[in-house]
Amino acid sequence: MRVCIPTENKEGLNAKVHGHFGSAPYFTIVDTEKDSVEIIDNANQHHSHGMCQPMNALMGKKIDVVVTGGMGGRAVQKLSEGGIKAYGAIPGTVADIVSQFTKGGLEEITAQNACAQHGCH
């Protein structure tokens, strides 16, 4: 499984999770089967509200899920259209999030609860 997590830095499994998907400086992709980590720059991290295009940075990366602190409804919809599920993250590091995800302890983000994790409405 390839898990994409928006992060604040390029520290791999020790990277701190960023609070919102579209404005993250980096995306850290963890392949849980190959035990590998890939870090991608998000060139679109600075954008007007509702205008982010984070999927451009992730094109061709074949991710299965996104785990994030928050995400807008449009991002949830675009991920869903691509067959990618999104889950809400607890604060912590990439390693913390991957561990929690593999244990099944994270809530799926849907169009109904998008952005609720950090007070967006």
Give the model's pLDDT for residue 54.
53
Report pLDDT digits (tens) over 54-112: 555 576 789 999 998 888 787 888 888 889 999 988 789 999 999 999 999 899 988 77
Picking from 40, 35, 34, the residue whose alpha carbon sits closest to that of residue 4 is 40
Q: What is the mean pLDDT of the chain?
A: 82
- Domains delineated in the chain: 2-118 (3.30.420.130)
pLDDT at position 114 over 70: no
Mean pLDDT, residues 11-19 taken together: 94
In whole angstroms, how far apart are CA 6 and each of 31, 65, 111? Answer: 15, 12, 19
Model confidence, pTM: 0.83
Q: What is the pLDDT of residue 44?
A: 61
